Chains A and B, each alone.
Chain A
Amino acid sequence: MSIRVENLIHIYDKGMPTEQLALDNISFAADDGRMVGIIGHTGSGKSTLLQHLNGLLRPDSGKIIIGDTDITQPGVSMVEIRKKIGLVFQYPEYQLFEETVAKDVAFGPKNLGLSREEIDERVREAIELVGLDYEEMKDRSPFELSGGQKRRVAIAGVVAMRPEVLILDEPTAGLDPKAHKDVLNMVEEVHKRTGNITILVSHNMADIARLCDKIIVIDSGKLITSGTPYEVFSKKEELRAVGLELPPVTRFTETLRERGIDLAATILDTDTAAEQIAAYLKGKAK
């Protein structure tokens, strides 16, 4: 399974005085087992792009090819698209509505028209996969859970549909540091266990740098740059120009480099940074 986006253009309110070019010629591709990060400022067009991938919005021109189906073609069944692509919106806990956790998670699989046994199995699997205890959770009301738990249940609701591409729009927004870490680890775990494509939108550069194989930078609906975390975060000036910062570690080591301390360029994790600094200090001591 692969996903290819080609020359995607979307215009909001076409022909109205409020007309706005939301996506301007966006192209990218990703293969199985990859985690793709999308970064950009609020209002840069990230959410619009995600909604296209799920068929919620139709592009004014361009193609979205998943596997070998172009989902922008008329006549492609929405159920088919949603079987392939799972989209977790921002603050997904606000879409919980059922009486029990198990029923809420079953909503997606049920809409896919699966058999009862299949649904039960998927619900159990999804709840466990997001790191919750199925037996303990299944009969509880989703409204009495903690913020982090609600978020997990909501994500489980999409995971239970077993999408081949899982898209998460800021899965950690508004969570406390611990829940933030937990949810992110869970996303990584789900990604590894399913081996599918995961697309992650986040404002947290450190998370993106740590988790993703590929990063796409968007500003005002345009693709600014894309590549591996190393490639993207070595373009410091370009990122600054669109109001994005480097991950804190990288910012730190780059500042040291500017001060004339000899470290490798664009260090993306604390371990490497520590090693490099230690090596530098040792070298200096000699």
Chain B
Amino acid sequence: MIRDITIGQFFPGDSVIHRLDPRVKIIATLLFIIELFIVDNFLGFAIAALCLGVVINVSKVPLGYIVRGLKPIIIILLFTFTLNMFMIDGHVIWKWGFLELTEEGLRTAVFMAVRLILLIIGSSMLTLCTRPLSLTDGIERLLSPFKKIGVPAHEIAMMMTIALRFIPTLLEETDKIMKAQQARGADFETGNLIHRAKSLIPILVPLFVSAFRIAQDLAMAMEARCYRGGENRTRMNEMKLKKRDYTALVLLTMFLAVIITESKLF
């Protein structure tokens, strides 16, 4: 169950997408998200989906693996879909009691669902193809101009690195604790909502205890190695834009131009 969550996971690979500078990938993802909100017709989505498809294809991440990442958001998707379907006024095509299905509603529902799906897939491509460490390095570099106005870029990046680093550890810990409690006869799958919520206590309490223990150990280890924050720290791998990064930026600009003109034209 826990293993199915692919959002935020890294898929090891050696494609061009994997090797791009993390800054370029972050900017590309941000632009892609913005574009999804500029787009106001299905043609635009088709173009965006096509480009995303090309990226996925080049990255060699199996499509099935990406689609599995949509599983946890299916409920949100269905929820917004149903709401949109019935809540928007317009030309009524089907009626049942107080529920009115309108043409506009249906259109918006499909529209929003497509937008959400593209949004999730697009942003998960960033984490699937970028090592968590280079991702946070990229964020740190992108944020560093804001240091002047007091944004603690290094600290933010460090916190993200730690958070990402400990996702698998905590998942493993959860898995262990769940198994241990199951061995004591705990049942997480049956019963009503309240019963199920209660059955989480035997997992959450030990998990929190573990999290605090891990955090304390890590803090101690960092202090023992004289960690003092971002001031004057150098890095082993300096980030440098290469030819492929410039190519990617050019392609990105072209994509942006196409989307904007498309939404202006139609």
Q: Chain A: residues with CB nearer than 8 A to chain B?
A: 51, 54, 56, 78-79, 82, 86-89, 92, 94-97, 107-108, 110-112, 143, 157-158, 161
- Which residues from A are CB-within-8-Å of B179? 51, 56, 89
Task: Find residues 164-199 in chain B having any chain A CB closer than 8 Å to their own CB.
Answer: 176-177, 179-187
CB-defined contacts of A86 to chain B, threshold 8 Å? 183
Which residues of A sit under 8 angstroms from B185, Cβ to Cβ?
79, 82, 107-108, 110-112, 161
- Contact A97 B187, CB 8 Å, known A51-B179, A89-B179, A89-B180: no
| Alpha-carbon distance A86/B201, docked complex (angstroms) | 21
Is the contact region of chain A dominated by helix, strand, or loop, or is it mixed?
helix
Which residues from A are CB-within-8-Å of B181? Answer: 95, 107
**Does B205 make an interface contact (CB < 8 A)?**
yes
List chain B residues, Cβ under 8 A from A88: 183
Please report the C-alpha to C-alpha distance between residue A143 and residue B213 in the assembled complex, in whole angstroms.
12
14 extra interface residue pairs, beta carbon distance < 8 Å, beyond A56-B182, A78-B187, A94-B209: A89-B179, A92-B180, A94-B176, A94-B180, A94-B206, A97-B206, A107-B181, A107-B185, A107-B186, A108-B185, A111-B185, A111-B186, A111-B187, A161-B184
A157-B181 Cα distance, complex, nearest whole Å: 10
Determine whether the beta carbon of B206 is less than 8 Å from that of A158.
no
Greatest chain A CB density within 10 A among B182, B183, B187, B206 is at: B183
- Chain A residues near B182: list those with CB within 8 A: 56, 78, 82
A212 to chain B, nearest CB (A): 22
A96 B186 Cβ-Cβ under 8 A: no
Among A94, A143, A158, the residue within 8 A (CB) of B184 is: A158
Whether A157 touches B206, Cβ cut-off 8 Å, given contacts A51-B179, A56-B179, is no
**How many residues in B have their beta carbons less than 8 Å from beta carbons of A?**
17
Interface string of B86-124 (1 = CB under 8 A from A): 000000000000000000000000000000000000000
Could you list 22 examples of A-B contacts with CB < 8 Å?
A56-B179, A56-B183, A82-B185, A86-B183, A88-B183, A89-B176, A89-B179, A92-B180, A94-B176, A94-B180, A94-B209, A94-B210, A97-B202, A97-B206, A108-B184, A108-B185, A111-B184, A111-B185, A111-B187, A112-B185, A158-B184, A161-B185
Residues of chain A within 8 A (CB-CB) of B180 are 89, 92, 94-95
Could you say which residues of chain A place their CB within 8 Å of the CB of B184?
Answer: 82, 95, 107-108, 111, 157-158, 161
Are B206 and A89 in touch, CB under 8 angstroms?
Answer: no
Q: List residues of chain B with CB within 8 A of the CB of A56.
A: 179, 182-183
Instruction: Closest A residue to B12 by CB, please name it.
Output: A17
Interface residues of B (CB under 8 A from A): 176-177, 179-187, 201-202, 205-206, 209-210
CB-nearest residue of chain B to A94: B206
Contacting pair A143 B202 (CB below 8 A): no
> Which residues of A are found within 8 Å of B202, using beta-carbon distances?
95, 97, 107
Residues of A near B176 (CB, < 8 A) are: 89, 94
Q: Do residues B201 and A97 form an inter-chain contact, with CB atoms below 8 A?
A: yes
- Kindly list chain B residues whose C-beta atoms are within 8 Å of the C-beta of A78: 182, 187
B183 & A54 in contact (Cβ 8 Å cutoff): yes
Nearest-neighbour CB distance to chain A for B121, whole angstroms, equals: 20
Q: Which residue on A lies nearest to B180, using beta carbons?
A: A95
Give the shortest distance, in Å, between A3 (CB) and chain B (any CB). Answer: 16
Please tell me if the beta carbons of B183 and A87 are within 8 angstroms of each other in the complex.
yes
A79–B184 Cα gap in the complex (Å)? 9
Residues of A within 8 A of B209 (CB): 94, 143
Query: Which residues from chain B contact A108 at a C-beta distance below 8 Å?
Result: 184-185
What 4 A-B pairs are tightest by C-beta distance, nearest first? A111-B185, A97-B205, A108-B184, A95-B180
Shortest CB distance A84–B (Å): 12
Give the chain A neighbours of B205 by CB distance below 8 A. Answer: 97
For A97, list chain B residues within 8 Å (CB): 201-202, 205-206
* B187 near A95: Cβ-Cβ < 8 Å: no
In the docked arrangement, what's the CA distance between A69 and B177, Å?
27
B184 → chain A, closest Cβ, in Å? 4
Instruction: Please report the C-alpha to C-alpha distance between residue A157 and residue B187 in the assembled complex, in whole angstroms.
Output: 16
Q: How long is the Cα–Cα vector from A111 to B183 in the complex, in angstroms?
A: 10
Give the Cβ gap from A31 to chain B, nearest Cβ, in Å.
23
Return chain B residues, CB-CB under 8 Å to A94. Answer: 176-177, 180, 206, 209-210
Shortest distance from the beta carbon of A87 to any chain B beta carbon, whole Å? 4
